[in-house]
Amino acid sequence: MKLAERYQKAQPSGMVKIFQAIEKMDEVLNLGIGEPDFDTEHDIIDVAARAAKDGFTHYPPLQGFLDVREAVCAYWERHHGLNCSPEEVLMTVGGIQTPNLAMQALLNPGDEVILVEPCFTPYFTQVRDSGGAAVSVGTTEENGFAPTIGDLERVITPRTKILLLNSPCNPTGRVIPRGQLEEIAALAAKHDLFVLSDEIYEALVYKGKHTAFPTLPGMRERTLIMGGMSKSHCMTGWRVGYAIGPAELIRVMTMIATSRTYGLNTLAQKATSYALTNHDEKLIERKNIFAERMDYVSGRLNKMKNVTCAFAEGAFYLFPNVKGTGLTSEAFVWKLLEESHVAAIPGSAFGPSGEGYLRIACTQSMEILIQAMDRMETFLKNL
Ligand SMILES: Cc1ncc(COP(=O)(O)O)c(C=O)c1O
């Protein structure tokens, strides 16, 4: 057997290496996990079980059941004032499948996609696999890890086709303010860019309100929202994502998905339809729990030697600055893991602008977070 050349030198990512090391260690307090620690609520599970017994065991409609697409529209209208119709929605296999289908549908060979880093790294692979060229735009803590118009304009060429945004952001936990999104929208219109807006953390904004990018003037026809159930409804294992965008793009993405996954699991769709319609109160409950944890952790981090940390804005990540320790992100994380059995992800695993930072996920109980912060404080004192 001979693997394809592009995979012959494939190495596990920085994040995977940490998780592999943790498996061989005892009593690690793992602040690296990018999924909520809450199980899916049992009434959601009951709906899926009932649907199975009611005969929803066949192939699903390729774009998704009408009721679940209607539920997606109703949810986005209720929460974010976005008016859309079921023809503009495609159910996907996890949020991770959406950019993949969109890039397949939009990119000609060599078309450029602007990725704002530090970012969710699968985007890079997806651009490559779609025949596009990824162009990174770095960000800084001083600018809230949001791209500046100047930096974006510098990399735009006649080949630039897509700008990919992610707010609230994994890994920085930062939210791009509405005013800045408006400037980006004007730039997208000026240069005729299509915006892939990864809004999978829309339910987890702690200050102010989430802005759905297509609600900005003129953006509806040039934006695809990438959403999903993993983070908002604690349904990571169900693998439910969705795309909301122009009907013509959704039609082509549906056609592409037909030869990839042939639709999204029927039971997961039924569970999603129910969850989107009936769980608004739970969203607020969990958001408050994450807010409390993030306030606690950022408060503790800010009192530690050589660490500063911005307060929580969105998602469940904090992105403390550890440059004062003189260690690289990677060296810091491995030393912390080996000496204190606390796991975090090096900021540099998400792109060069993440160097000097750590990603800390507040996806553990308060009890574990307290212990982890105690260990980290001692680690830093002795560094
Ligand atoms: C920014 C971002 N987008 C998309 C995803 C994909 O989520 P899923 O495929 O579980 O829906 C993740 C998961 O961590 C993420 O952080």
Distance CA 314, CA 34 (A): 13
Distance CA 377, CA 355 (A): 21
Q: What is the pLDDT of residue 87?
A: 98
Is residue 208 scored above 90 in pLDDT? no
Burial group, residue 296, by CB count within 10 angstroms (0-12, 13-18, 19+): middle
Q: What is the pLDDT of residue 15?
A: 83
Which residue from 19, 197, 200 has its CB within 8 A of the most atoms of ligand 1, so it is best to mutate? 200
Share of the chain above pLDDT 70, in %: 100
Query: Tokens representing 83?
Result: 């008016």
Torsion of CA 105, 110, 112, 116, to 10 degrees: 100
Confidence band of 10 (pLDDT split at 50, 70, 90): confident
Give me the domains of the chain, ranges plus CATH numbers.
5-40+281-376 (3.90.1150.10), 58-278 (3.40.640.10)
Is residue 12 scored above 90 in pLDDT? no
Average predicted confidence (pLDDT) for the chain: 96
- Check pocket membership of 241 for ligand 1, CB cut-off 6 A: yes
Confidence band of 104 (pLDDT split at 50, 70, 90): very high
Nearest to 266 by CA among 46, 61, 41, 101: 61
Amino acid identity at 227: G
pLDDT tens track for 221-280: 999 999 999 999 999 999 999 999 999 999 999 999 999 999 999 999 999 999 999 999
Tokens 């693997």 identify what position? 3
Distance 132 CA to ligand 1 centre (A): 21
Q: What is the pLDDT of residue 157?
A: 98
- Check pocket membership of 94 for ligand 1, CB cut-off 6 A: yes
- Check pocket membership of 198 for ligand 1, CB cut-off 6 A: yes
Q: What is the pLDDT of residue 85?
A: 98
pLDDT tens track for 216-238: 999 999 999 999 999 999 999 99
- Whether residue 344 contacts residue 358, with contact meaning beta carbons closer than 8 Å, is answered with yes
Average pLDDT, stretch 29-58?
Answer: 97
Distance CA 70, CA 87 (A): 9
Which residue from 164, 231, 264, 363 has its CB within 8 A of the most atoms of ligand 1, so it is best to mutate? 231
The two most distant CA atoms of the chain are separated, in Å, by 61
Distance 315 CA to ligand 1 centre (A): 11
Q: What is the pLDDT of residue 8?
A: 86
- Whether residue 277 contacts residue 74, with contact meaning beta carbons closer than 8 Å, is answered with yes
Q: What is the pLDDT of residue 154?
A: 97
Is residue 9 scored above 90 in pLDDT? no
Distance CA 335, CA 86 (A): 50
- Check pocket membership of 96 for ligand 1, CB cut-off 6 A: yes
